Amino acid sequence: MPNQGSHVSLNAEARVSAFIEVSPQLRHFLRRYLVNEADAQDLMQQIATCFLSVPDTTAIGNPHAYLFGIARNLVAHYCTTRAGDCLTFDSGAANKVLETTVAPSDTAAEMDAIQHDILRRFNALPVLWRKALALQAEDGLSYEEIAKRLRLAPETVRKYLAQGKAALRGDGP
């Protein structure tokens, strides 16, 4: 896979290789949101089709993040059109909050309140914690890559991510 920070053109073989490398993580991501395994497999095929048919591959700076961006968009669309076949809101930082707070009988209003609470907690975090969390979740960056972008030590990034996730769960500040 090309350097994740560069914007070079990816030929078809490089895109296939990138997709194969990330496929296990994509499957895991889809299973977190979808109830039906067949639907997850369908979305995997759609992700591959979208990724392999990108006309201007120089726009793909980080293939891993690009694939997860496609996956997030497809899951969001799928869940809005087939609400009964999706699991409730889930993110790596908010899993514990939702697992301990959401019962199957919760209403949409209660779900909105929970999502609002998580967003409120996120916005209350220090700026560098929020930036580190966003770079990891949205761009799929490693500790080292986040450290370079934020001009911090990798250990500081690890600490900020751990503290930020704890705060989102309600375990921290």
E strand intervals along the chain: none
Q: Which residue has the higher pLDDT, 43 or 92?
A: 43
Q: Which of 74, 11, 17 lies closest to 47 in space, CA to CA?
A: 74
- Beta-carbon neighbour count of residue 76 at 10 Å? 12
pLDDT one-digit tens code per residue, 89-108: 444 544 444 444 444 445 56
Instruction: Considering the domain delimited by 95-169, tell me its CATH architecture.
Output: Orthogonal Bundle (1.10)
Model pTM score: 0.46
Task: Write the DSSP symbol of residue 57.
Answer: G
Lowest mean per-residue pLDDT among 18-32, 105-119, 148-162: 105-119
What are the residue ranges spanned by the domains of the chain? 12-85, 95-169
Provide the pLDDT confidence category of residue 50 given band limits of 50, 70 and 90.
Answer: confident
Q: Of all helices (H) and strands (E), which one includes residue 70?
A: helix 63-81
